Amino acid sequence: METDHNDPARPPTRVREVFDDWARRGRAEGMEADHAPTARRAFARLGLGPAEWFLDIGCGNGYAVRWAAEAAPEGRAFGIDLAPEMIAHATSRAEDLANATFITGSILEVALPERGFDAVFSMEAFYYIDDLDGALRRVHSVVRPGGRFACALNYYTENPASHTWPTDVGIGMNLLGEAEWRDAFARAGFRDIEQERLTLPASETGDRWRIDAGTLLTVGMR
């Protein structure tokens, strides 16, 4: 695992500070708009059933939790995020969804039911976690047998356009390649691991890297 040390500030404190600030400045909806085209494609890979339980790690303003709450009206949809301001924002936007719940904290600390979730999702969050192996093991522990975890990332080795992001954003990040993410999933106990690049057509984006490199999606089963 390669870690960017250009910025000495490391998570989780720095992550919480930055995303609380973004939420206060109204950037939560901008993040949703930016992520949604590929997040929708990644979310669809989970094939969420109407009575299944869903968890989003690093949920931001809760857009994927809202998608899941609507797709699984007989199930439950949970979102966790380090940033209290993001969680407050997400909660306010899901007031009409009785099956949506938001919790402040990290995947390593929040109390969650063992083998409690049919589908776990994360968009642009896992490279902030120092203890990646510990976090992936925790995810594996909360997924039910036969359940699945979909992790989507734009910051990875094979996307060189992303490599300045730790300095740009002011948060240290862990830089891994496709094979390293696959190996990390396997170490955590996931099986039937699949990977793909979620690229966008030029009609949907003005970012060259989204067309050429795309978002790295890794999906594992328990």
**Domain architecture of the chain: domains with CATH:** 2-221 (3.40.50.150)
Environment class of residue 179 by beta-carbon count within 10 Å: exposed (0-12), middle (13-18) or buried (19+)? exposed
Contact 154, 75 (CB under 8 A): no
How many CB atoms neighbour CB 134 within 10 A? 13
Q: Is the peptide bond before 12 cis (omega within 30 degrees of 0)?
A: yes
pTM of the entire structure?
0.93
At residue 142, φ and ψ (nearest 5 deg) are -100, -5
DSSP string, 182-198: HHHHHHHT-EEEEEEEE
Helix pair 13-24, 28-44: axis angle to 10 deg: 110
Residue 19 CA to residue 17 CA, distance in Å, equals: 6
All residues at 6 or more sequence positions from 122 whose CB lies less than 8 Å from its CB, including other chains: 56, 57, 58, 149, 150, 151, 152
Does the CA dihedral 104-69-120-52 come out positive or negative? positive
Longest CA pairwise span in the chain (Å): 46
Contact 85, 24 (CB under 8 A): yes
Predicted local confidence at residue 188, as pLDDT: 98
Full pLDDT tens readout for the chain, 222 residues: 444 434 445 557 888 899 889 889 888 888 888 999 999 999 999 999 999 999 999 999 999 999 999 999 999 999 999 999 999 999 999 999 999 999 999 999 999 999 999 999 999 999 999 999 999 999 999 999 999 999 999 999 999 999 999 999 989 999 999 999 999 999 999 999 999 999 999 999 999 999 999 999 999 999
Side by side, the strands of the sheet bearing 117-123 are: 100-104, 76-81, 53-57, 117-123, 143-153, 215-221, 191-198
- CA 169 to centroid of chain Cα atoms: 17
The partner residues of 215 in beta bridges, in order of sequence, read 198
At residue 95, φ and ψ (nearest 5 deg) are -60, -30
